[in-house]
Amino acid sequence: MTNTIIILDFGSQYIQLIARRIREQHVYCELIPWNAPPEKILTLNPKGIVLSGGPDSVYKPGAPQVPEYIFKTGIPILGICYGMQAMVQALGGRVKRASEPEYGFTTLETFSGNPLLPVGEQQVWMSHGDLIESIPPGFRNFSRTNNTPICGMVDPKRNYFGVQFHPEVGHTPGGAKMLRRFVIDICEASPDWTPASIIQKSVNRIREQVGQDRVLAAVSGGVDSSVATALVHKAIGNQLDAVFVDNGLLRQGEPQRVVKTFSQHLGVSFHPINAVETFLENLRGVKDPETKRRLIGERFIRIFEQEAKKLGTPPYLVQGTIYPDVVESSGTGQDQTRRIKSHHNVGGLPEDMEFKLIEPLRDLFKDEVRAVGEALGLPHEMVWRQPFPGPGLAVRCLGEITWERLERLRAADAIFTQALADAGLLHMHPNEPSASPQRGTAQAFAILLPVQAVGVMGDQRTYQDVIALRAVTTEDFMTADWARLPHSLLAQVANQIVNEVEGVNRVVYDITSKPPATIEWE
């Protein structure tokens, strides 16, 4: 794919945000580790290269460096934060420890004309403890802050650029426009990364991979598995069988909704399986979240293998793995960032499984998945359904999994989500008023905690379970903020849960953003 921007990963936890901002310009980009073999990049014949941020200091022994061959490609290069400093170090400038590090909002003054930023002041987001003491030959400085005299540099002859701030984050309002100028105006990349092109490329790739073989799709009713299944069905038609496993870890009424939706809308060969007792027995006494994920992932595969034999042993399994799953399970997939948790689609599968995986959404962000779903003609309620973790309520029912505890959690979750729906706060479709960060919720759910609290009910002392409520606003699910729900709604929900859900006498609300927390509790 020649119309590509390459992002060299130096270890930034937010490198995927750079990718997302570039893809918002309808230009395809790939994340590649800084120390990847040259042919991995050169064979892509990219239009431009972005050097990401990172946690190290470029002058420390063993710190990641810009490979020399990068500067021989003759294409535009943009360094961001650490990437700028790494470029400076590689080309003959100097970087040193800052006497006053900059973290957070900063006013940037651009004092010289350049292709990236307009002259004047703007708000940017800084996160650096080092600064550039001198720029390399051929460069000139074009912006500064009170604490950092060199915040933007350009070598106009080679089309090399560097910025000390982070244009990819929402805290830099003009960052998206800056990245667009680099990608479209300077790199001259064509904006052809659209839902239609994604579908066509995926269909071609799936057909080439599968040939005439039969395929199983693991469906949950969530947007990711639904879009993945629809995409594979478009590619291979009746070669596909969709399998839905009711593992007992779904939300209230969900198994019935999934069966109805798939039967009415997708037109695929659909096979529902009741495996509730099998999963609950497998999880008996297990409290560790990583063990839960591994056991659930393995049990899913074993059930699919059994179903495959009934259907003629299809060698391929479709999964709705998306890019954030990969990022949080194994860094960015580039071995540069630290693993946050395993995901049953990525980190919990048995090594000896009999399937080859088809993951058509593996490189897509959630908003791209939804755009593809809409382009495929999937129903609104399916495409804009709130995310639900692959391991289901197992990672929202903290501690041991029992049917009684799951039912308690299901009842509390249903009360919370119904109250949000009644208030118009449950969904986050971009064309709905509820998409506003002040009003909508991108994801909302209840968590059953493995602790009990003292209470008084009916003049009697109680010692019962605690429910935590979680609701967040986000654009990309890589970062998120807690939703500022009306106090009256929270009071209503808490009162209803305590009165209607047997065994619960306390409700709390999670007001932690991501980071430092993740959206899910386990």
Residues in the chain: 522
State the catalytic residue, choosing from 102, 168, 328, 368.
168
Q: Give the Cα separation of 220 and 254 in Å (integer).
A: 9
| pLDDT tens digits for range 171-215 | 898 999 999 999 999 999 999 999 999 999 999 999 999 999 989
Q: Among this protein's residues, is 81 annotated catalytic?
A: yes
Nearest Cα neighbor of 243 from 223, 265, 213, 221 is 221
**What fold characterizes domain 402-509?**
GMP Synthetase; Chain A, domain 3 (3.30.300)
Those residues with Cβ within 8 angstroms of residue 193's Cβ, 6 or more apart along the chain or in another chain? 3, 23, 26, 27, 28
Q: Is 137 helix (H, G, I), strand (E, B) or coil?
A: coil
Nearest Cα neighbor of 28 from 236, 323, 225 is 323
Looking at the domain that runs over 195-383, which CATH code has it been given?
Answer: 3.40.50.620
Q: Give the Cα separation of 156 and 293 in Å (integer).
A: 51
Nearest Cα neighbor of 421 from 251, 269, 219, 284 is 251
Q: Give the Cα separation of 450 and 431 in Å (integer).
A: 39
DSSP string, 474-500: -SSSSSBEE----HHHHHHHHHHHHHH
Predicted pLDDT at 520: 93
Q: Among this protein's residues, is 168 annotated catalytic?
A: yes
The segment(s) of the chain belonging to CATH 3.40.50.880 are 4-186
Sign of CA dihedral 480, 481, 482, 484: negative
Q: How much of the chain is in helix, strand and coil states, percent to nearest 5? A: 35, 25, 40
The segment(s) of the chain belonging to CATH 3.40.50.620 are 195-383
| pLDDT tens digits for range 459-481 | 678 889 999 999 998 876 777 88
Q: Which CATH class is domain 4-186?
A: alpha beta
Token duo for residue 376: 């495929």
**pLDDT under 50: residue ranges of the chain:** 331-347, 429-438
Those residues with Cβ within 8 angstroms of residue 204's Cβ, 6 or more apart along the chain or in another chain? none
State the catalytic residue, choosing from 24, 29, 81, 151.
81
The segment(s) of the chain belonging to CATH 3.30.300.10 are 402-509
For the chain, the first-to-last Cα distance in angstroms comes to 38
Quote the Cα angle for 7-9-10, to 5°.
135
State the catalytic residue, choosing from 166, 343, 344, 427.
166
Report the relative pairing of strands 460-473 and 443-457 from DSSP bridges: antiparallel
